[in-house]
């Protein structure tokens, strides 16, 4: 291999049995109208009811020449400038948020705070370059600043210094003012972290202010919920009292498309996040599921069984001008646009038996199969257009070991890599706007919850803890 | 006679239905076979085993836009700037404070040799400057050049513009450029029969908003697929991020070279 990489896997097999995922598929079974869709749903339900066994392994990854090392970044606690009683609590929120954002970015090697010099710099004059650029901190970048709350207002100065470049150290200098609340302190920390990530990450905007939409049943019904990218600030968006699935936020972040059960059928619905109410979208009859936005926000693709067979359709953002894209035998569901070009659509098709991932042009031509075996669902196209994230049972069938894991596939070369392993059922991957993170649904903790990880499979963390939460969708910015 | 005719006529009546029956069963069998051919789709193979698609089982997708840990180290000096860092100097073992030196029985004070004015010291050797940085005073390569290596292949680059000090004033930006180009260089685009090639030079401009423009091949390697992959590596990049706000120029020119070997 010219990458010069080798992988060492040490096996220590341990069998685990996980709970059934008796979720959406089983519910849909009662309402789907056409026989073929019912057959497909039964297949999905059977799969979700199979007792899953998975093999736990200890993984050691090693290799040579894998790329460029990470920037060593130190983020010192900001220095309080006022004696206001609020300052202490707000400053803690700020410091924690800033540290988490930078740590989660995936492009920094954060220097542990225990290595820092004892005198915290509050402004550029107080920075001792030598103390930061040499061991123990041995940082190449330093984020620092001051933080003051006076009455109802908050004043924050933040700097980013290249401490090894004494001649012209300043990379960034910012000033923020806002109300003296914990939310505002968190927002300022997000903004400053995004600026640092934008500069040092090569012009890719940070994701600290992005949102994740998901389905939760903690109100008693399956409704659409939203949260910050780090799992904080979880709140309910829709209150329909029905079953709502597969939320997809529009590229501009104003409208939320999802499929919901009406008295007669599953329909695509549109919810305005700004107006906090449903806005009109044509109801066409049949079973309409899994909408997806074109990157320009002008069109929606979704699967509909109005013609008898479940096929991919495309329509305007109001539901008008609906056209059918696929016309093969077997159900086609779960479309996703190429987020960079908007010119291709990936989707799931059962035309050869078990579901596989296919791609086609946005006008329905040039259908190509991308997965070669197993049971592959939930494609999600990366923001740079290069990768598909998908949920894949590579070895599927009676007696075949394996688990439902998240994989990454390079579309041009069809090379793939497995991101999750030995952890329950993993499904519904969705990309962060910077293309460095993936949020997904996993049952590894015993129940369906939302998890996130870096796009190389590291830094896995749980975001939701109460109720059952599924089908996450990361906002476009 | 009567019986004979009866038997004969019965026999005659049976032959026709028998022929119909045979023909009917042949038709049914044929139709079953035909239906098997017409309506068979992915029989067996559709159940997850092989068939269709051409995904490759490769354990590495090298272009995930995240910095991967670099285990390989290579000290490649682009110029004679301070670049190499020295390891921590050895600390001398401290003598125990309460150790009393044992007096030597036969210590004799040697008389110092008398130096005469006629004897001269040899001229001091000129101290050759090293490019080592003493321990604790490390820093980035301060010159405008940098290199990276990725999977047996190497790349390097130089910056022009800003009076020549862009690389030293904005070392962090140089690092971003290096990182993004190395991430976007897809080595699977290179002809797999090539094992070694000459260095290919690519030149491009970075505009104020960070976009690479004017990508051109400065010197070909002689391997078209390698030239193409180098140019595509730059073209694939949307932005390096805006140039530093206090940088006065409208663009910087970057010369990037790629060494390929496997």
**Quick count: other Cβ atoms within 10 Å of Cβ B23?**
10
Whether pLDDT at A353 is above 90 = no
The pLDDT, as a whole number, for residue B7 is 55
C-alpha distance from A273 to closest chain B C-alpha (Å): 30
Mutate to test the interface with A, among B61, B72, B189, B240 (most CBs of A within 10 A): B61
**What is the average pLDDT across A104-123?**
88
User: pLDDT tens, A51-79?
Assistant: 444 444 454 544 333 445 688 899 999 99
The pLDDT, as a whole number, for residue B57 is 44
Q: Which residue of A has its CA nearest to B188?
A: A413
The pLDDT, as a whole number, for residue A23 is 36
User: Using CB atoms and an 8 Å cut-off, which of residues 164-223 of chain B contact chain A?
Assistant: 168-172, 175-176, 178-180, 182-183, 186-188, 190, 192, 210
The pLDDT, as a whole number, for residue B221 is 87
CB contact under 8 A, A71 and B175: yes
Q: What residues in A contact B49, CB-CB < 8 Å?
A: 373, 397
- DSSP string for residues in A401-421: ----EEEEEETTT-BEEE---
The pLDDT, as a whole number, for residue B219 is 87
Burial class of B197 by CB neighbour count within 10 A (0 to 12, 13 to 18, 19+): buried
Whether pLDDT at A178 is above 70 = yes
Torsion of the alpha carbons at B146, B149, B154 and B156, rounded to the nearest 10: -10
Banded model confidence at residue A21, pLDDT cuts 50, 70, 90: very low
Banded model confidence at residue A196, pLDDT cuts 50, 70, 90: very high
DSSP character for A27? H
Q: Does residue B89 belong to the interface with chain A, where contact is any CB pair within 8 Å? A: no
User: pLDDT tens, A245-279?
Assistant: 999 999 999 999 999 999 889 999 999 999 999 99
User: pLDDT tens, A271-303?
Assistant: 999 999 999 999 888 899 999 999 999 999 999
Banded model confidence at residue A343, pLDDT cuts 50, 70, 90: very high
Whether pLDDT at A29 is above 50 = no
CB contact under 8 A, B60 and A353: no
List, in order, residues 6 or more apart from B6 with CB less than 8 Å away.
Answer: none
Q: Does residue B41 belong to the interface with chain A, where contact is any CB pair within 8 Å? A: yes
User: Among the residues of chain B, which ranges form H helices?
Assistant: 2-39, 166-169, 171-184, 224-235
With contact defined as beta carbons under 8 Å apart, do A31 and A266 qualify? Answer: yes
> How far, in Å, CA of A356 to CA of A371, rounded?
6
Burial class of B159 by CB neighbour count within 10 A (0 to 12, 13 to 18, 19+): buried
Which of A67, A71, A455 has its CB closest to that of B70?
A67
The pLDDT, as a whole number, for residue B122 is 67
> How far, in Å, CA of B217 to CA of B204, rounded?
9
Backbone phi, psi, residue A264, to 5°: -110, -30
Helix (H) or strand (E) holding A46: helix A35-49
C-alpha distance from B140 to closest chain A C-alpha (Å): 7
The pLDDT, as a whole number, for residue B99 is 72
Percent of chain A with pLDDT over 70: 84
CB contact under 8 A, B239 and A436: no
The pLDDT, as a whole number, for residue B179 is 80
C-alpha distance from B43 to closest chain A C-alpha (Å): 8
> How far, in Å, CA of A324 to CA of A335, rounded?
13
To the question of domain B146-262 being in CATH 3.30.460, the answer is no
C-alpha distance from B241 to closest chain A C-alpha (Å): 3
**What is the average pLDDT across A307-312?**
87
Q: Residues A41-75, buried b or exposed e (16+ Cβ, 10 A)?
A: bebbbebbeeebebeeeeeeeebbbbbbbbbbbbb
The pLDDT, as a whole number, for residue B238 is 87
What's the length of chain A?
477
CA distances for A160 relative to A170, A177, A392, angstroms: 6, 18, 42
Percent of chain A with pLDDT over 90: 47
Q: What residues in B contact A456, CB-CB < 8 Å?
A: 64, 66, 68
Mutate to test the interface with A, among B67, B166, B170, B176 (most CBs of A within 10 A): B67
User: pLDDT tens, A425-440?
Assistant: 899 999 999 889 999 9
C-alpha distance from A304 to closest chain B C-alpha (Å): 23
**Quick count: other Cβ atoms within 10 Å of Cβ B42?**
15
Q: Does residue B163 belong to the interface with chain A, where contact is any CB pair within 8 Å? A: no
CB contact under 8 A, A69 and B60: no
Backbone phi, psi, residue A265, to 5°: -160, 175
> How far, in Å, CA of A422 to CA of A60, rounded?
14
CB contact under 8 A, A3 and B187: yes
Mutate to test the interface with B, among A9, A65, A195 (most CBs of B within 10 A): A65
Q: What residues in A contact B140, CB-CB < 8 Å?
A: 140, 164-165
Q: Does residue A46 belong to the interface with chain B, where contact is any CB pair within 8 Å? A: no
- DSSP string for residues in A446-472: SS-EEEEEETTS-S-EE---SS-EEEE
The pLDDT, as a whole number, for residue A402 is 63
Whether pLDDT at A465 is above 60 = yes
**What is the average pLDDT across A223-228?**
94
Note the ipTM here.
Answer: 0.71
With contact defined as beta carbons under 8 Å apart, do B183 and B65 qualify? Answer: yes
Mean pLDDT for all residues in chain A: 83
User: pLDDT tens, A392-427?
Assistant: 988 877 766 667 889 999 888 888 888 888 678 899
- Give me the residues paired with residue A441 across strands: A427, A450
With contact defined as beta carbons under 8 Å apart, do A74 and A140 qualify? Answer: no
CB contact under 8 A, A66 and B150: yes
CB contact under 8 A, A4 and B151: yes
Domains of chain A: 18-51+210-474 (2.120.10.30), 71-200 (3.40.50.10070)
CA of residue A44 relative to chain centroid, distance: 23
Pairing of strands A108-110, A153-162: unpaired
The pLDDT, as a whole number, for residue A205 is 87
Mutate to test the interface with A, among B58, B65, B70, B182 (most CBs of A within 10 A): B65
**Quick count: other Cβ atoms within 10 Å of Cβ A267?**
22
CB contact under 8 A, A68 and B178: yes
User: pLDDT tens, A377-390?
Assistant: 999 999 988 899 99
| A-to-B residue pairs, Cβ atoms closer than 8 angstroms | 210
- Give me the residues paired with residue A407 across strands: A390, A418
The pLDDT, as a whole number, for residue A335 is 94
Average the pLDDT over each of A125-129, A442-446, B48-52, B153-157 and give the range with the smallest value. Answer: B48-52
Q: What residues in A contact B70, CB-CB < 8 Å?
A: 65-69
Residues of chain B where predicted confidence (pLDDT) is lower than 70: 1-12, 40-97, 104, 106-109, 114-165
- Give me the residues paired with residue A80 across strands: A147
The pLDDT, as a whole number, for residue A213 is 96
């Amino acid at each position: 291999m010219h990458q010069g990489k080798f992988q060492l896997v040490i096996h220590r097999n341990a069998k685990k049995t996980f709970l059934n995922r008796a979720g959406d598929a089983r519910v849909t079974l009662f309402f789907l109208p056409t026989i073929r869709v019912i057959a497909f749903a039964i297949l999905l339900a059977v799969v979700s009811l199979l007792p899953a066994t998975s093999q736990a392994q200890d993984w050691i990854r090693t290799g040579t020449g894998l790329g460029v090392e990470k920037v060593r970044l130190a983020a010192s606690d900001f220095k309080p400038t006022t004696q206001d009683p609020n300052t202490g609590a707000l400053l803690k929120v700020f410091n924690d948020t800033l540290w988490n954002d930078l740590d989660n970015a995936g492009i920094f090697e954060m220097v542990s705070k225990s290595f820092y010099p004892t005198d915290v710099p509050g402004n550029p004059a107080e920075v001792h370059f030598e103390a930061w650029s040499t061991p123990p901190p041995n940082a190449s970048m330093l984020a620092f600043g001051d933080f003051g709350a006076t009455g109802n207002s908050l004043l924050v100065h933040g700097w980013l210094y290249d401490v090894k470049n004494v001649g012209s150290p300043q990379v960034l200098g910012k000033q923020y003012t806002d109300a003296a609340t914990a939310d505002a302190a968190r927002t300022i920390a997000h903004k400053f972290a995004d600026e640092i990530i934008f500069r040092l990450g090569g012009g890719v905007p940070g994701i600290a202010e992005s949102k994740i939409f998901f389905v939760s049943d903690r109100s008693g019904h399956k409704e659409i919920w939203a949260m910050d990218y780090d799992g904080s600030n979880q709140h309910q968006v829709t209150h329909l009292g029905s079953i709502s699935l597969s939320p997809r936020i529009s590229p501009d972040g104003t409208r939320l498309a999802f499929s919901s059960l009406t008295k007669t059928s599953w329909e695509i619905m549109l919810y305005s996040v700004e107006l906090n109410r449903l806005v009109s979208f044509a109801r066409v009859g049949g079973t309409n599921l899994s909408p997806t936005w074109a990157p320009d926000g002008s069109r929606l693709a979704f699967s509909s069984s109005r013609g008898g067979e479940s096929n991919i359709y495309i329509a305007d953002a109001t539901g008008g001008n609906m056209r059918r894209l696929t016309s093969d035998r077997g159900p086609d569901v779960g479309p996703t646009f190429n987020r960079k070009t908007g010119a291709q659509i990936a989707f799931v098709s059962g035309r050869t038996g078990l579901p596989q991932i296919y791609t086609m042009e946005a006008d329905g031509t040039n259908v190509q199969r991308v997965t070669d075996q197993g049971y592959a669902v939930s494609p999600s196209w990366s923001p740079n257009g290069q990768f598909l994230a998908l949920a894949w049972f590579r070895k599927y069938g009676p007696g075949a070991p394996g688990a439902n894991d998240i994989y990454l596939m390079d579309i041009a070369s069809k090379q793939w890599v497995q991101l999750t392993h030995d952890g329950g059922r993993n499904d519904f991957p969705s990309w962060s706007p910077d293309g460095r993170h993936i949020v997904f649904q996993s049952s590894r903790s015993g129940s369906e919850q939302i998890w996130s990880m870096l796009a190389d499979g590291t830094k896995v963390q749980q975001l939701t803890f109460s109720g059952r939460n599924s089908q996450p969708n990361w906002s476009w910015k | 006679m009567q019986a004979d005719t009866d038997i004969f006529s019965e026999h005659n009546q049976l032959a026709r239905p028998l022929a119909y029956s045979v023909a009917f069963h042949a038709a049914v069998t044929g139709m079953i076979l035909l239906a098997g051919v017409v309506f068979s789709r992915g029989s067996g193979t559709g159940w997850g085993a092989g068939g269709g698609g051409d995904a490759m089982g490769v354990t590495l997708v090298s272009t995930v836009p995240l910095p991967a840990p670099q285990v390989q180290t290579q000290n490649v000096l682009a110029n004679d700037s301070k670049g190499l860092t020295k390891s921590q100097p050895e600390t001398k073992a401290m003598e125990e404070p309460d150790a009393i030196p044992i007096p030597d029985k036969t210590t004799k004070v040697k008389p110092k040799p008398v130096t005469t004015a006629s004897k001269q010291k040899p001229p001091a050797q000129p101290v050759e400057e090293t490019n080592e940085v003493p321990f604790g005073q490390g820093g980035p390569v301060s010159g405008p050049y940098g290199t990276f290596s990725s999977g047996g292949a190497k790349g390097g680059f130089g910056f022009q513009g800003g009076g020549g000090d862009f690389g030293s004033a904005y070392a962090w930006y140089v690092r971003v450029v290096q990182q993004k180009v190395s991430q976007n260089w897809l080595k699977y685009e290179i002809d797999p029969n090539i094992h070694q090639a000459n260095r290919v030079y690519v030149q491009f401009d970075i505009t104020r908003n960070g976009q690479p423009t004017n990508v051109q091949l400065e010197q070909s390697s002689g391997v078209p697929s390698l030239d193409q992959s180098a140019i595509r590596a730059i073209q694939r990049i949307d932005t390096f991020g805006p140039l530093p706000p206090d940088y006065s120029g409208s663009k910087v020119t970057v010369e990037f070279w790629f060494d390929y070997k496997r």
